[in-house]
Structure 1
Amino acid sequence: MSVGVSVEYLTETAAAPVRVVLLHDRTGKVLALLPANALLDLGRLGQLAGRELQPVKAEDAQRFFNQAALQTPAGREQLFTLPLLVDQSCPSGALKCLEPHSGWQCELARRPVHDRVLSGEFALTPTLPHAAVAGLSDDETVINRAVERFTSLRVRQRLDDLLGLPGMSDSMRTIVQLRSNPDAGVDDLVPVVKRDPSLSAQVMGWSSSPYYAAPGKVRSIEDAIIRVLGFDLVINLALGVAMGKVMQLPDDTPRGSIYYWDQALYTATLCERLAAKAQLDERPRPGLAYLSGLLHNFGYLVLAHLFPPHFSRLSRYIEANPHLEQQQIEHEVLHVTREQIGGWLLENWKLPDEVAAAVRFQQAPELAGEHQVYARLLFLASRLLRAEGLSDGPKAAPDEALMAHLGLEAEDVRQAVAEVKAEAENLSQVSRLFSQKH
């Protein structure tokens, strides 16, 4: 059956850019066409089709669209005989189609028309009010409203009580205090680690891991901290572990996403190395840059804790819209973002202001005020890691202006990224220690 497919050259001005999404259910595969930059609303799509459709996994989309048959005109024409859902905002004329996971492209002389095409409204223009990015609105009010909207809870008490988060242990509270105290040192940290058997085991595990490659056998907590790891690293890792115990990793994450602690350690390590290379009059402290990277995604865990029935839906929306920043999707689905809730919580837990500001404004570093250097490091590190497949989110070209703001040379940045990429396997071994129970 001909569906009007044409593979002749069409100019950029002649063809409207559209996105191709492959979805499925028990009945079979379906294609969706919608404007390239739009958000695919799975709820509206399901209503149009009368089916509970889900996007296929990224690797399945790559495998499907990389088939040799789909590189030929005949195969492309056959593809569009599948059941097809077309957003009504797609023009009826020439279309330039793109599947983002595989990079597969196809040009159509006109919108397909056959008896298995359904047209309806399922594409949304993603919105993220400036206030949500800039912190012009009261984040606590935004979080309250989201909690009330999506749960049976009503906010009649302090929000941190309402969230139902497990209380911080004594050792975690002490670690937070030490992290915030510029005069704290190894002598203050060692007794805290020794009093917590789980933390002691973690520290010994880190110091013995291949990544740190300590010469000789590590025989004590003092040896691990003083000779191998150092005060800053131990207190940052300990804080990450302690907060990880407060928040459990969610089960139903977007398929194909990077493991949470892997991504945290990659980001932390790169932030630290970029901070050390930054040529600024007031150089950022590498330890705080590391902690910002380690906790940059902590709000994601809180979203999973707060909205478990809706978190699975959020994961499917992220899968269906890989071209969008995840905060845009969170705003559409939950009306609150990981940056808002993560920054608010870290501030309330009295972590260093530099870290809370970096996490809150990592998508808009220029709005982080006096701490924007840390937000800029986080923004840059995240984009660099995305390009290497070591962090989740849409890929984008490195921001040379941002590098200049940070006093970073392109070669220094390239070298820092190459080092993290080369160490990724060993860093992953360290990250697995975060989830071990002792």
Structure 2
Amino acid sequence: MAIGVNTLETDAGKSNFARLVLLHDNIGKVLVLLPAVKLLNLVSIWRETERHLQPVKGDDVRRFFSQETLRTKEGQRKLFSLPVFVDDAFECQDVLDVLEPYSGLRFSADRSWYIANMRSIRLGLSASDIDRAQPKGDDEAVISHAVERFTALRIRQRLEDTLGLPSLAPTTQKIIMLRSDPAAGVDRLVPVVKVDPSLSAQVMSWSVSPYYAAPGSIQSIDDAIIRVLGFDLVVNLALGIAMGKTLTLPEDTPRNQTPYWQQAVYTATLAERLAKKMESSIRPKPGLVYLSGLLHNFGYIVLAHLFPPHFSLLSRYIEANPHLRLDYIEKHILHVTREQVGAWLMESWSLPEEVCNGVRYLNEPLNPNAGVYAQIVHLANHALRLKGWADGPLEKEFNADVLALTGLTQQQVMAEVEGMEADSEVLKEFTNALASH
């Protein structure tokens, strides 16, 4: 689910530029008008109206606002026969320049259209408002604060013990050790794969894929890994499967969301392709780049495990604020982000530092601690949103500083995305294989 934000960002400084949101409950629909780039605080509406209004599903919003009658001034005026909640920032505005992000509908609304059905309340929060409310300290302190605030848990000596996360299976522990050891090779990987029937079957299935076009028949696990797949691919996908088994995917996710494993596989694949296009002097290890992309969203599953009562609320906020970076919505609701908790957990499991930083700083690619792994995953995720293959706000222009640090151009990045389309069937096959576990 990717929503364009360039128009919002371009016009955000205008005092009369408003985002239009459609909410509903069992009583009926209502409209909300608030400053374009701000987060819609649903709790404010619930408190003021004593109604549990929810965002309408994105596809339904698109259909509703794409009606032909709403292309006319008369239809736009009639739209405001619905109850209208207006952010108090617009209390004195005579005309609002209105944009609905899902459909792209844009028009000017005169105050006289909605004043009869209007209620003015404080609805929006800016990014700086959200940042000011965040706890101070390192990531572990932030996670501890969130756990103590939003659950009944009290932090013991080891945070890992408090969270109740499942322990890693022996096979997973061995795979992590192999991934963390730069001297490890196929000779140590083959025995680990052979003792896990499910993993063995999956490796054999991957090795006969038309994508690899291996000459001759594949006779054994050794043959599949040594001659066709290679150490990096097998250990990374095995680790993805193993960690996917550790926690179950959440059920009440934002509607229209990109499936978890599709986003993981596509991000990993594109990140690896981009790494191979970089100059050799600054090129990161493609295998670790792939793993960073594959696990970049793992913290999302951890959030669902840690905060089940609040996860549904988080999903509704994401639906109501499709223009906003996901980490800011998570900060507002939980005071911790998927990147923080995911990277912290990977570090506690002794995954390579490059992977931990690649996950932790993908939304902050210019942070001094970010490094090239985070920068590559950031570019991959940004590009995939433009194709509708990843979740989050859609921004047409890439960060010029990140491109300069990686030595890539926006044209190169998008060319690699187009190249992935030729392999779409294989990517779907990998996605389904990981999802089935």
Same fold (TM over 0.5): yes
Q: Which amino acid aligns with 2:41?
A: D
Determine the structure 1 residue equivalent to 2:104. 103
1:173-322 matched pairs, under 5 angstroms: 173-322=173-322
Query: Does structure 1 conserve the Cα–Cα contact (< 8 Å) formed by 2:325 and 2:393?
Result: yes
Which of 407-416 and 178-187 deviates more?
Answer: 407-416
1:376 counterpart = 2:368: no
Cα 1:67/1:183, change in 2 over 3 Å: same
Distance 1:61 1:47 in 2: 24
Query: Which has the bigger relative contact order, CA under 8 A and spacing at least 6?
Result: 2
Query: Does structure 2 conserve the Cα–Cα contact (< 8 Å) formed by 1:17 and 1:97?
Result: yes
Distance 1:409 1:30 in 2: 44
Provide the secondary structure at the position in 1 that maps to 2:86.
Answer: strand
Query: Does structure 1 conserve the Cα–Cα contact (< 8 Å) formed by 2:282 and 2:406?
Result: no
Provide the secondary structure at the position in 2 that maps to 1:350.
Answer: coil
Deviation at 1:13, TM superposition (A): 8.8
Provide the secondary structure at the position in 1 that maps to 2:343.
Answer: helix
Which of 38-47 and 251-260 deviates more?
Answer: 38-47
Determine the structure 2 residue equivalent to 1:125. 126
- Structure 2: where are the runs of 5+ without partners? 1-10
Q: Cα deviations across residues 268-319 of structure 1 (Å, max 9, x unaligned)?
A: 0000000000125232111111011001111111100000110000000011
Determine the structure 2 residue equivalent to 1:49. 49
> Could you say what the CA RMSD is over the residues aligned between the two structures, in angstroms?
2.2
Q: Cα deviations across residues 239-285 of structure 1 (Å, max 9, x unaligned)?
A: 11111111111001111010000000110000000000012523211
- Structure 1: where are the runs of 5+ without partners? 1-10
Distance 1:226 1:378 in 2: 28
Deviation at 1:405, TM superposition (A): 1.6
Distance 2:12 2:254 in 1: 33
Q: Cα deviations across residues 383-435 of structure 1 (Å, max 9, x unaligned)?
A: 11111111100011223432222112444323211122343343122111113
Cα 1:102/1:296, change in 2 over 3 Å: same
Q: Cα deviations across residues 320-343 of structure 1 (Å, max 9, x unaligned)?
A: 001110000000000111111111
Provide the secondary structure at the position in 2 that maps to 1:95.
Answer: strand
Q: Which amino acid aligns with 1:378?
A: V
Cα 1:77/1:131, change in 2 over 3 Å: closer
Distance 1:384 1:188 in 2: 36
Q: Which amino acid aligns with 1:106?
A: F
Which of 122-131 and 191-200 deviates more?
Answer: 122-131
Cα 1:85/1:212, change in 2 over 3 Å: farther
Distance 1:211 1:22 in 2: 44
Determine the structure 2 residue equivalent to 1:8. none
Which of 408-417 and 269-278 deviates more?
Answer: 408-417
Query: Does structure 2 conserve the Cα–Cα contact (< 8 Å) formed by 1:288 and 1:355?
Result: yes
1:331-346 matched pairs, under 5 angstroms: 331-346=331-346
Q: Which amino acid aligns with 2:366?
A: E
Q: Which amino acid aligns with 1:406?
A: T
Distance 1:414 1:424 in 2: 15
Distance 2:267 2:132 in 1: 26
Determine the structure 1 residue equivalent to 2:33. 33
Cα 1:35/1:158, change in 2 over 3 Å: same
Query: Does structure 2 conserve the Cα–Cα contact (< 8 Å) formed by 1:206 and 1:433?
Result: no
Determine the structure 1 residue equivalent to 2:392. 393
Determine the structure 2 residue equivalent to 1:431. 431
Cα 1:373/1:111, change in 2 over 3 Å: farther
Q: Cα deviations across residues 80-130 of structure 1 (Å, max 9, x unaligned)?
A: 111111111124222111111111101123364444322212222234549
Work out the percentage of aligned pairs sharing the same amino acid. Answer: 53
Q: Cα deviations across residues 214-248 of structure 1 (Å, max 9, x unaligned)?
A: 45543321222122211100000011111111111
Query: Does structure 2 conserve the Cα–Cα contact (< 8 Å) formed by 1:258 and 1:392?
Result: yes
Distance 1:12 1:401 in 2: 23
1:419 counterpart = 2:419: yes
1:358 counterpart = 2:379: no
Distance 2:376 2:237 in 1: 19
Cα 1:311/1:131, change in 2 over 3 Å: closer
Cα 1:118/1:189, change in 2 over 3 Å: same
Query: Does structure 2 conserve the Cα–Cα contact (< 8 Å) formed by 1:209 and 1:430?
Result: no
Cα 1:252/1:337, change in 2 over 3 Å: same
Provide the secondary structure at the position in 2 that maps to 1:89.
Answer: helix
Query: Does structure 2 conserve the Cα–Cα contact (< 8 Å) formed by 1:280 and 1:406?
Result: no
Q: Cα deviations across residues 27-65 of structure 1 (Å, max 9, x unaligned)?
A: 221111111111111111122222111111111111111
1:115-194 matched pairs, under 5 angstroms: 115-127=116-128, 129=131, 137-194=137-194
